[in-house]
Amino acid sequence: MSVAGIDKVAVVGTGLIGSAWAALFLARGLDVVAVDPDPEAPAKLARTVTRMAEALRAAGIVGEGTEIAPERVRFAREPGSELNGVGFVQENAPERVKLKRDLLRSIEDHVSPDTILASSTTALRASDFQTGCRHPGRVIAGHPLNPPHLIPLVEVSGGAATDPAIIDRAMAFYEALGKKPVRLNRDIEGHIAGRLSAALWREAVHLVETGVASVADIDAAVIHGPGLRWAAIGPHLTYHVGGGAGGIAAYLAHLGPSQEKRWQSLGTPRLDDALKAKLTEGVAAEAQGRTIDALEAERDARIAATLRALKT
Say if 188 falls within a structural domain.
no
Q: Are residues 167 and 218 in the same domain?
A: no
Q: Are residues 203 and 122 in the same domain?
A: no
Q: What is the mean pLDDT of residues 21-48?
A: 97
pLDDT over 90 (residue 109): yes
Say if 43 falls within a structural domain.
yes
pLDDT for position 98: 96
Give the CATH number of the domain where residue 171 resides.
Answer: 3.40.50.720
* CB-neighbour burial class of residue 7 (10 A; exposed 0-12, middle 13-18, buried 19+): middle
Q: Count the helices and strands in the chain (H runs, E runs).
A: 12, 8
Q: What is the mean pLDDT of residues 234-261?
A: 96
Say if 251 falls within a structural domain.
yes
Domain limits for position 240: 193-310
Q: Are residues 169 and 38 in the same domain?
A: yes
Helix 273-287 and helix 193-209: axis angle, to 10°?
100
pLDDT in tens, 123-173: 999 999 999 899 999 999 999 999 999 999 999 999 999 999 999 999 999
Q: What is the DSSP string of 83-147?
A: GTT--EEEE---S-HHHHHHHHHHHHTTS-TT-EEEE--SS--HHHHSTT-SSGGGEEEEEE-SS
Give the CATH number of the domain where residue 197 resides.
Answer: 1.10.1040.10
pLDDT for position 312: 61
Out of 183, 204, 222, a domain closes at 183
pLDDT over 80 (residue 189): yes
Q: Are residues 21 and 162 in the same domain?
A: yes
Instruction: Please provide residue 186's backbone torsions phi and psi, each rounded to the nearest 5 degrees.
Output: -155, 155
- How much of the chain exceeds pLDDT 90, in percent? 96
Out of 183, 203, 227, a domain closes at 183
Say if 253 falls within a structural domain.
yes
Q: Are residues 67 and 143 in the same domain?
A: yes
